[in-house]
Structure 1
Amino acid sequence: MRGPAWPIGALLVGYPVWWALGFGGLSVIVLAVPMAVVLWRRRPIKVPRGFGLWLLLLAGYLISALMLAEMPPGTYGELGPGRIAGYAMRLALYASILIMVLYLGNLTERELPQLRLVRMLGVLFVTTVAGGLLGVLFPAFAFTSPMELLLPGWVSENSFVQNLIHPTAAQTQKVLGYASPRPEAPFEWANAWGSNVSVLLVWFVVGWWVHGGPRQKIFVAVSIALAAVPVVYSLNRGLWIGLGLAVVYLIVRVGGRTRVALCGAVAAGALVFALSPLASLVAQRLDKPHSNDIRAFTVSATVAAAGHSPVIGFGNTRNATGNHRTITTGKTQWCGGCGHPPLGSDGQLWLLIITQGFTGAALYVAFFLGAIRRHWRDRSPIGLAGVLVMGLVLLYMFIYDGLVTPLSLYLISFALLWRNA
């Protein structure tokens, strides 16, 4: 893409390159620099309604740094380079995403047409489906990225950093009682893949079906059929619930022939799925809700720890003492990532509660609720899709971390709503 809008094209269309280089979700930090230059040159800068809530969220995170050295009861560890680096990375992401939203909102329709932005999100959806199929067919696929080679060992060997800079096709977990590959390429982990594929699907349909011709609609139908394979193999119940609620939302909000066509397509798709081998895999996953106890433990421990700093939180996560089974636990031969779980790891809401207190969580919720309230009457395809994504954000905050890539897509969707108004 030429002109001042090139950074967003580099972010969305060029995302596979960033992933291969080892930047992945951190690419928004790199591209925020030219975005900031564009904004600086076209002052005064327009800001969206609700902008103050995000500024307060960012300011609260700055203040929370005062608590980085503190250890609430029920946690362990000490202030070290890892905790400081994690805090700095999240701060850089929050700031970069803020710059990205302002950048998108201050570009004119001529510089970046709405439909072009929506279709670029659709391109990333196709990339995500390809990555999901890679994870299903070749789950062991992985390689060392250039970023991984450049970083010192004490940084690159950190498990959180490894997820960001070491490209892998899938996470292998014993969700069904045996090793099951869960697609994650080209994102940082399997849950990020689940959140992102659902959001990108919404914009893919708008850009390539609603505003597409016969050939584009055939392409959409084939792509969605292929996407069903990694969506099921992801074993991601949150993703399945999100897609189900998205269908209900659309049936309620659209009318006339569109509603009839949508109901027919859903019924036909459900019939085909029920007759396919994928249905048995879903049934197995629903019969083995093994993660419920883990989530219940970490959520309760997070809320208890946050009660000791309810206004500004602790700046970063803390490791719980023990897990849902025992106070003495550690890594196992088949689960190198097991042990004392980090608090706030089971959803953006819980992450905000431990890092920024209940105040930060309230600001986050208010920001996206406000977007729904302001744009609810926008019944254009982009308006309906944007409000749907804002609703998915509020659902996923209970089960998915927003950082790293999901939050970028949430805020791009917010920017689309702002531009549409």
Structure 2
Amino acid sequence: MRGPAWPIGALLVGYPIWWALGFGGLSVIVLAVPMAVLLWRRRPVRVPRGFGLWLLLLAGYLVSALMLAESPPGTYGELGPGRVLGYLMRLALYAAILIMVLYLGNLTERELPQLRLVRMLGVLFVTTVAGGLLGVFFPAFAFTAPIELLLPDWIGGNSFVQNLIHPTAAQTQKVLGFSSPRPEAPYEWANAWGSNASVLLVWFVVGWWVHGRTRHKVFVAVVIALAAIPIVYSLNRGLWIGLGLSVLYLIVRVGGRTRVALCGAVVAAALAFALSPLAALVAQRLDKPHSNDIRAFTVSATLAAAGHSPVIGYGNTRNALGNHRSITTGKTEWCTSCGHPPLGSDGQLWLLIITQGFTGAALYVAFFLGAIRRHWRDRSPVGLAGVLVMGLVLLYMFVYDGLVTPLSLYLISFALLWRNQ
């Protein structure tokens, strides 16, 4: 893409290259630098309504650094390079996403047509489906990215950083009682793949079906049929619920023949799915809610820890003593994967509560609720889709972390709503 919109094209269309290099979700930080320079040159900068809430959220994260050295009761660990590195990385991502939204909102329709931006998100959905199929059929696929070779061990060896820079096709977890590969390429976690797939699917339909010709619609139907395979094999209940609620939302909000056609398509798709081998896998997953106890423990421990610093939080996550089975279970030298996920790792809401207190969580919720309220009456395809994504954000905050890539897509969707005014 030529012109001032090239950083956005490089981010969305060029994402597979970033992933292969080891940057992946961190690519937004790299591209925020030229965005900031170009944005500075076109002052004054316009800002959207409600963006003050996001600035307060960022300011609160700066203040939360004061608590990085503290460990609330029920947690363990001391201030070290890993904790500081995680904090700085999240801070850089928050700042980069802020710059990206302002940059998108200040590009004119001529510089970046709205439909072109939507279709670039659709291209990223095709990339997501391809990565999902890779994770299903070649789950062991992985390689060492160039960035890994350049980073010192004390940075590249950090588990949080390793997830971001090491390209893998799937996460292997014992979800059904045996090892099950869950697609994650080209993103950092299997849950990130699920969140991104549902958000990008919305924009893929808008850009290539609603505004597409017959050949585009055939392409959309084929891609969505292929996407059903990794969507089911992801064993991702949050993704399934999000897709179900998305269909219900569209049935309620669209009218006339569009509603009739949508209902017919849903019935046909449901029938085809019920007759396919994928239905049995979904039934198995629903019968084995193995993560419920883990999530319940983590959420309760997160709320208990945050109660000791409810206003500014602790700046970063903390490790709980034990897990949902035993207080004595934890990470050891011979079992580094034992123990329990860090507090706040089961959803963006809980991450904000432990890192920025209940204040940060309230600002996050208020930001996206405000976007829904302001744009609810926009019944254009972009308006309906954008409000739907804002609703998915509020649903997913209970089960998915927003960082790294999901939050970028959430805020690009917000920018689409802002530009649509």
* TM-score, length of structure 1 as denominator length: 0.99
- Map 1:167-186 onto structure 2 (within 5 A): 167-186=167-186
Query: 2:255 aligned with 1:255, yes or no?
Result: yes
Alpha-carbon separation, structure 2, partners of 1:295 and 1:333: 25
Aligned with 2:177: secondary structure? coil
Give the structure 2 partner of residue 143 of structure 1: 143
Q: Which 4+ runs in 1 deviate beyond 2 A? A: 330-338
Equivalent residue number for residue 53 of structure 2: 53
SS of equivalent residue, structure 1 residue 342: coil
Answer yes or no: is 1:117 the counterpart of 2:117.
yes
Deviation per residue, 1:252-288 (Å, 9 max, x gap): 0000000000000000000000000000000000000
SS at match of 2:109: coil
The root-mean-square deviation of aligned C-alpha atoms, in Å, is: 1.2
- What runs of 5+ residues in structure 2 fail to find an aligned partner? none
Identity score, percent:
90
Q: CA deviation at 1:340?
A: 3.4
Deviations 1:99-142 (A, max 9, x none): 00000000000000000000000000000000000000000000
The reply on whether 1:23 has 2:23 as its aligned counterpart is: yes
Aligned to 1:191: 191
Where does residue 267 of structure 1 map in the other structure?
267
The equivalent of 2:208 in structure 1 is 208
Q: 1:52-111 deviations in whole A, cap 9, x for unaligned?
A: 000000000000000000010000000000000000000000000000000000000000
The one-letter code matched in structure 2 to 1:322 is G
Is 2:234 the partner of 1:243?
no
User: 2:230 maps to which residue?
Assistant: 230
Q: Following the alignment from structure 1 to structure 2, what is the Cα–Cα distance between the partners of residues 410 and 89?
A: 19
Equivalence for 1:412 = 412
Q: Offset at 1:33?
A: 0.4
The C-alpha deviation readout for 1:224-260, integer Å capped at 9, x for no partner, is 0000000000000000000000000000000000000
Tell me the distance in 1 between the aligned counterparts of 2:181 and 2:336. 15
The one-letter amino acid of 2:48's match is: P
Secondary structure (helix, strand or coil) at the match of 2:172 reads strand
> Structure 1's 191 and 331: CA in aligned 2 closer, same or farther, altered over 3 A?
same
Alignment-derived partner of residue 320 in structure 1: 320
| 1:402 match: secondary structure | coil
State how 1:13-412 maps to structure 2 within 5 Å: 13-330=13-330, 337-412=337-412
The 8 Å contact of residues 310 and 359 in structure 2, kept in 1 or not, is answered as yes
State the 1:334 CA deviation: 12
Q: Shift of the alpha carbon at 1:157?
A: 1.5
Deviations 1:308-350 (A, max 9, x none): 0000000000000000000112359998533132000000000
- Residues 335/185 of structure 1: CA separation in 2 closer, same or farther (3 Å cut): farther
Structure 1 unpaired stretches of 5+: none
Alignment length (residue pairs): 421
TM-score with structure 2 length normalisation? Answer: 0.99
Find the aligned partners of 2:332 and 2:142 in 1 and give their Cα distance. 22
In 2, the alpha carbon distance for the partners of 1:176 and 1:334 equals 25
Q: SS of the counterpart of 1:360?
A: helix
Please give the alpha-carbon distance, in whole angstroms, between the structure 2 residues aligned to 1:133 and 1:10.
Answer: 23
One-letter amino acid matched to 1:203: W
How much does 1:159 deviate?
Answer: 1.3
Deviations 1:366-398 (A, max 9, x none): 000000000000000000000000000000000
Tell me the secondary structure at the aligned position of residue 171 of structure 1. strand
Equivalent residue letter for 2:188:
E
Q: Structure 1 stretch 114-123 or stretch 337-346: which is displaced more?
A: 337-346
**Can you list the C-alpha shifts for 1:27-48, whole angstroms capped at 9, x where unaligned?**
0000000000111000000000
Closer, same or farther: CA 26–170 of 1 in aligned 2, 3 Å: same
